[in-house]
Each structure stands twice: as structure tokens, then as C-alpha cells.
Structure 1
Amino acid sequence: MTLEQPVRRAPRTFGIEEEVILLEPGSLVPVDVADEVIAELVELESGMHWITHEFLRAQIEFSSPVLADADAADRVVGEFRRAVAGAVARRGLIAASTGTAFGAGRSATAAGERYARFVQELGAIHPDHRIQGLHVHVAVASREEGVKVMRALRPWLAPLLALTANSPCFGAADTGFASWRTIVGRRFTTASVPPEFADAADYERRVRALIGLGATLDASSVFWMMRLAERYPTVELRVFDAQLSAEESVGVALLTRALVESAAAGDLPHADAAAHAEHLDAAVWHAARHGLDDVLVDPVTASIAPARHVIGRLLEAAGPALDAAGDRERVEALIERLRTEGNGAARQRAALAEGVPALERLLRSTFAAAPSTPATPLVE
């Protein structure tokens, strides 16, 4: 008798969105040249049609194609960063991947009626809305599965934020927070951890009820840390600050994919108390304040525990899915490096202690750095 071998399903596809800020050397204030940089790249660089505008004229957004594995992600994110770095260098500027810019200067809002409406609604919040994030999309089989994933992931958002916090500076000063971007974002109409939804119909009904309130102009302007994408069959995690290096962005995306896989399979544990709305909100604030430099809420027990222990829980929860995708070694190496060298916020703060020139060197050196492990070229 021949035993049938279990069918191994291919890992879920995923996508990466990076928001980048263009800065003046020395002052590290935003410079409004995104329009001309985008025009140059679209004309000269093949594949750069994934680059577009963001809220400010000093920002560029990159949206990857659908990705199947780490090699594909390394390639497209690396190509984007190298192309942008070259274009801004020709203008005597630098590109940075950080949740907030150090410099105190302002940037004009990008063109478009939608952005103009945002500005009108934001009022006095608008001048502070200078933030950049990393968004990771992971494929889901249906919106029902997406809601199931969101329910399971809610207690894990604070540890993910602590791991990826990368915005300690704002207005030419150290804010004291690891992720000031998170604090700025909490002032939006919808913010922080999403509610717990019963099913996809409940999600749709409650999102529709928000449209027209404040800055929620449409379903795409729901700014929770996690949501169902409107244009793609994905769940979109938006909790992350923009990451200093491409290696970090890709590693975070691989970890996210594994956590989504675990959540969809019902293998992502959490204590009931860890999912209470007030507990989640406090855990996110604490993670934004301290990053990896203090205790965090352990989602499995809802108790306070050292950050190293809670990040270990992340790896433990994602482990089987990381193994199935062949990503464990890469993600473990990245997390160990973040534990040892510090997340982006810690590294920015250490550089700033030496002076603004040291911070500039850090931003320059990490933006278009090659990954530590060369990527295998894609087959066209």
C-alpha cells in the first residue's frame, strides 16, 4: 500500500509598500522634489512604474508587484532604493527610510483633490502629518479569512511595533519615543488597533458607517494599524515605521507573512485579556514609547514581560510557517541583529548622540545598502 504524501501548499504571496522622505543634507529637512524624481525614474528606469506620489511633495511611495519569496522581494526593493538614491544624489540630496524626518522644515502637500480634502479636515494636525510607514500585504483566501486573521493578530501588533520602531526624532529634536510616527497617527479619525469584527459583513458594515466622518473620506482612508485592502485580496499590516534598510523591510514582510499564515490556521495564541481594547491601546502606546528598551505585553499571557522574551514569542508563533516557507534562518538572523544592535529608533538615537552628521551618515549608509546575503536573480 502506498501512503499518500500530504500536499504542501505554496507560501502565500505578499507585497511591500515603502514610503520614503527626500532630505537636504546637513539640516535633514524635507525637500519638495518628489515630482521630478518620479518623472525621471519612470522615464529612465524599467520597472519603476511602481513608484508614485504620497501625501507630501517630499515623499515617494513604492508599491511592489506581487511577490512569492524573499529573493523576489530583495530584488525589487533593492532596485527601487538604488534608483531613488541615484536620482536624489544627482540633485545633491539624500533619501531616507525613517518613520519621521529629523529636520524641522515643512513640505507642501502633493497635488490632488483628495489630498486637499485631507488637509482641510486635518486642520492644525496637518503640519505634523509628516510620517512614513512600511505596509505589508499578505494574500488571504477571502475577506472572511482576512477578518479571522485580523482578530488573531490584534494582540501581536504592539510587539511588531516595538521591533520595527524607527521614528525617534521630530522637529529637530529627540521626542523620547521610539515611534513618534505612531503617536502622530493616533490623532487621525481612525487609528491604532482595529476593533474586533465578527465576520466580513460586520467589517464592511462598520467601515461604511465611518465614511464621511472626519478624515475618513473613503474605505481606503481607514488608518487602523491593520485592515482589509480594498483593491487587493489581502490583509494589510500598517503598524510598521519605514525601515532603515531594505533587508529590514523584507525581513519584516517575511515575518508578517508567517504570522498571517499562523493566524489563518488558528495557530496564533493569545490570552483573552490581551485582546481587550483598553489593554491593546495601552500596549501600543507603551511599545511606541519604549520600543525594545523596556517590557512589553506578552500576548500569550497578557502579562508584562521583558521585550526579548516577547519578541521570542513572535518567532515561536511564526516558526512553523517560517519553516514551511524556508524563511526561518533569515528572519531569526534579522531579529537577533535588532536585539543586539537595536531597532531603527535605537540606532538613530545612538547616531544623534554623536551629532546630526552621524545621523545623516546612518541614513545614507542604510538606505540603499546591499543585503547581507545576496539575492538569487529572478527568472524573467
Structure 2
Amino acid sequence: MRTFGVEEEFMFVDSATLHPLPVSTQVQSLLRSRSSTAAPAPTPPTAHVDHAPFVHSEFLASQIEHSSPVFDRLDQAEASLLGFRSRLAEAATALNSVAVGVGAPFQTDGWPEVTISARYRRVEEEFRGLIPDHLINGLHLHVGIPSQEAGVEALNRLRVWLPVLLAMSSNSPFWNGRDTGFSSWRSIHARRWSTGGCPPYFADVADYHRRTQRLVGVAGTFDLHTIWWGARLAEKYPTVEVRVCDAQLDTPSTLLLAALTRALVSTALIAAERGRCPVFLEPELLDASLWHAAREGVQARLINPLSGELAPARAVVRALVTSVTDALEESGDAEQVSHLLDRFWRLGTGADRQRYALSSGGTDSLGTLLRTTLNACD
């Protein structure tokens, strides 16, 4: 069974206006102080761990990132993620703000406040006029791999499914208080950075390292961490890191994407071991598929990587799940994924839910959705 980890980015917003608030430093201080005074953790430990070591500043002063412990099972992830989200909600409320799991905030205004650090100042210098539009939050999913060679084999096989994961995770329909017409406006912003989109096909791990190293120093890519493909080999960990997803409203949505991503990596590694060639999709079609998924979410049609043709979104998601069924069974995730998929089709994507809330009750209703779903478990 492959291990996995979850990185979730959140944004703090004003409860009334839904504008971003630069309170990340204060929230982290509250989380650390409350962790230091917490009672000993009862069983299961993942539900009440000291989350402070797993919390980090992000690019903007209105953002925070939670990098989870390493998990073997979905129930471990569920307990840990819910535990952190509950504490995050409490800390944000204490500062008269709301922590939200969205790919982009409903409102934006001017040049955002960047977190004070040498690295983030360098990003600001390199990417210049793109910074005001970089109020975006992602969900990054790590899956353990036996070697970097195996990781490149996995990347070569899962890359064609990244648009489907994006469509399912789409959770950023608004910008500057208006509907963009896209389900994932975050991913459209991300395409403007020099290394966005799906990773290319690599001949082997040496090819991967040669080509990534050549990007350093070009077009704002000042180190390997600033290569922002939708999937890559992690620099710090022995994992494949899938970065294509928007941040999610609630934990069940994150769990579904985590389970499918782990199954995709597991399936890819087995296929490589058995000498099966990766599914081929022309680069231009794969790139257009990512843009198409960002616009449509799961409300229309998506490119089915197995046929290269547009098909109803439900059928394409079904094709993804079918392709990883053996891996889901092996990890014990099949039944829970089935329940999570039923929930997904019942509620829709985060973008669908945000749009419904705004249309039914305006910004008050949208704010209620964002506030109440952060630590919702169903």
C-alpha cells in the first residue's frame, strides 16, 4: 500500500466583504499557542496531533498551508485533516476572519500583501505584474514512490488524467466579485506562469533531471521549486506530487481526490513494471484539455484520454475510476471512494456549490457556505 500526504492551502477573508485579510502570521501564532497548551492526545492520534509543525506561511500574508503527516489509510487522513480544519476555523474566528478552502477568493483588491521572506520577495521580483492575480490556493497530493526512476514512469502515465482531476476539483469560479464563466479560474491564472500546465513526457529520470535543470534561470524559474507543472517529482520527499487541483471546500472532497491520485500513481507504477506503454495524447490536445476542464468542470464534456475524444463528464470520470479499480481495491479505498463519488455527484464541484450559494442568497449565502464547509465531515 502506497503512502500519501496532503498539502492544503487556505485563505483568510473578511466575513462580510469576503476580501482577503493578511492575518496568517497571527493565526499561526494562535495555532502554536493552543497546541502548546493542549491536553495529551487521545486515540486515534491523527485526530488530535500537534498541527503546529505542519503549518507554514504561503506566498501571501492572507494564506496558510497545512502539510499533513504521512498516511497509509484514508481514515487517518480524514481524522487529521478534520482536526486541523477545526482548529484553523477557531483561530480565524478569534481574529474576526474566516478561513476558506477555495481556489481563488470571491473578492480581490489591488496588490496583495506578500509574506515577508527572501524567497517570496524573489518570486515577486521575478513575476512582477502577475503578482496581483496570484491570490490562488491549491491542493497538492503526494504519493510515495520507490525511486525517482519509478516516479518518472508514473508521471508519464498519469499526466493524461490531470485535466479530469482538475475538472473534479474545480473550486474557483469568481474573480473580483464576478462569475468568470470558468469553474477553475485559479488554473487559468496558473497557466500564465512560465512552467504551468501538464508536465511533458520524459524518456527517463536522466531526461527529467536534464530538462528541469535547464529551466533554472529561465523565465522566472530561479530554482526547481518554481517549476509549477500540474505534477512533478517532489524535491524534498520521495514522492510524486500532483498539484493540478484547486483547494477544496471540505475534507470529503479532498479525500476523494487523494484516493484517486494515490490509485493513479499505483496503477501507473504497476503498468510500468509490466512494460505497458503510456496512453498517448498529443501535447496540443492535452494542453487544450486542461483549459477545457478549467472552463467546464464536470457540467459538460471532457476529453477522454483513452479515446482522445470529447465525452460526457460522468463517462470520463467513470473511465478514470475504472482504470484504477484494482488499485482502489488493493488499498481498501474502493467502498469509501464509491460513497465519496455518490456525494460528489449529488453536491457537485466546489465551483457548482459556490455558484448555487451566490445565486440563491448573494454574498451572505456564499459566506455561510465557505464558513460552514471548512470543517464539515459530510
TM-score, normalised to structure 1's length? 0.92
Aligned length: 359
Q: Find the residue that maps to 1:121 and give its secondary structure.
A: helix
| Structure 1 counterpart of 2:56 | 52
- Write out aligned runs for 1:198-237 (5 A): 198-237=203-242
| Structure 2 counterpart of 1:306 | 312
| CA distance, structure 1, for counterparts of residue 207 and residue 373 of structure 2 | 42
The one of 85, 88, 102 aligned to 1:84? 88
Q: What is the identity, as a one-letter code, of the residue corresponding to 1:242?
A: A
Question: For the aligned residues, what is the CA RMSD?
Answer: 1.3
Residues 36-60 of structure 1 show CA distances to partners (whole Å, capped at 9, x for unaligned) of: 1101212222332100100000000
Cα separation, partners in 2 of 1:239 and 1:103, compared to 1, 3 Å: same
Q: Find the residue that maps to 1:31 and give its secondary structure.
A: coil
Q: Does 2:32 match 1:42? A: yes
Q: Does 2:373 match 1:366? A: yes
> How far is 1:103 from its partner?
1.2
Q: Find the residue that maps to 2:64 and give its secondary structure.
A: strand
Residues 69-100 of structure 1 show CA distances to partners (whole Å, capped at 9, x for unaligned) of: 11210111111101110001112211100000
- Write out aligned runs for 1:74-153 (5 A): 74-106=78-110, 107-153=112-158
Q: What is the identity, as a one-letter code, of the residue corresponding to 2:192?
A: R
| Structure 2 counterpart of 1:378 | none
> How far is 1:338 from its partner?
1.8
| Structure 2 counterpart of 1:357 | 364
Q: Find the residue that maps to 2:240 and give its secondary structure.
A: strand
| Structure 2 counterpart of 1:29 | 19
Residues 283-323 of structure 1 show CA distances to partners (whole Å, capped at 9, x for unaligned) of: 00000000001111111111111001000011101111111
Unaligned runs of 5+ in 2: 36-49
| CA distance, structure 2, for counterparts of residue 190 and residue 102 of structure 1 | 26
Residues 249-298 of structure 1 show CA distances to partners (whole Å, capped at 9, x for unaligned) of: 122111110111001111898653xx211010000000000000111111
Q: Find the residue that maps to 1:195 and give its secondary structure.
A: coil
Q: Find the residue that maps to 2:26 and give its secondary structure.
A: helix
Q: Bigger CA drift: 318-327 or 53-62?
A: 318-327
| CA distance, structure 2, for counterparts of residue 270 and residue 344 of structure 1 | 31
Residues 104-144 of structure 1 show CA distances to partners (whole Å, capped at 9, x for unaligned) of: 23530001111111111111111001100000000001001
CA contact (8 A) 1:315 1:332 kept: no
| Structure 2 counterpart of 1:66 | 70
> How far is 1:337 from its partner?
2.0
| Structure 2 counterpart of 1:287 | 293
CA contact (8 A) 1:21 1:96 kept: yes
| CA distance, structure 2, for counterparts of residue 80 and residue 213 of structure 1 | 38
> How far is 1:368 from its partner?
1.0
Identity %: 41
> How far is 1:238 from its partner?
0.2
| Structure 2 counterpart of 1:188 | 193
| CA distance, structure 2, for counterparts of residue 139 and residue 91 of structure 1 | 37
TM-score, normalised to structure 2's length? 0.93
Q: What is the identity, as a one-letter code, of the residue corresponding to 1:290?
A: E
Residues 154-198 of structure 1 show CA distances to partners (whole Å, capped at 9, x for unaligned) of: 111111111110100111111110000000000101000011001
CA contact (8 A) 2:158 2:268 kept: yes
Unaligned runs of 5+ in 1: 1-10, 373-380
Q: Bigger CA drift: 280-289 or 261-270?
A: 261-270
Q: Does 2:321 match 1:331? A: no
CA contact (8 A) 2:105 2:135 kept: yes
Q: Bigger CA drift: 27-36 or 245-254?
A: 245-254
